[in-house]
Amino acid sequence: DIMFLAILKLPYVINELLPLCILFGSLFFLERLSKRNELIVIFSNGVSIWKFIQPLILVALAITSISVA
């Protein structure tokens, strides 16, 4: 009975935790790039901040629209 209830609650838990996990994953990704000075290399090669951040924003908007719906 307890496992059945846990399985029934799983979609709600995923819906609540997915945006938070993606946020922390993105922050961890950017922190690692910053720590290794890879952001400096990316920006010095002519990639604008907007072009670099655009995929993160699009994924965030997609996850938000899925979570709200």
Q: What are phi and psi of 36, to 5 degrees?
A: -90, 10
**Better-predicted residue by pLDDT, 51 or 64:** 51
Contact 64, 19 (CB under 8 A): yes
Q: Is the pLDDT of residue 69 over 80?
A: no
Can you give the pLDDT at residue 51? 94
Q: How confident is the model at residue 60 (pLDDT cuts 50, 70, 90)?
A: confident
pLDDT in tens, 17-53: 888 898 899 999 999 999 999 999 999 999 999 999 9
Q: Give the separation between CA 35 and CA 37, rounded to whole angstroms.
A: 6
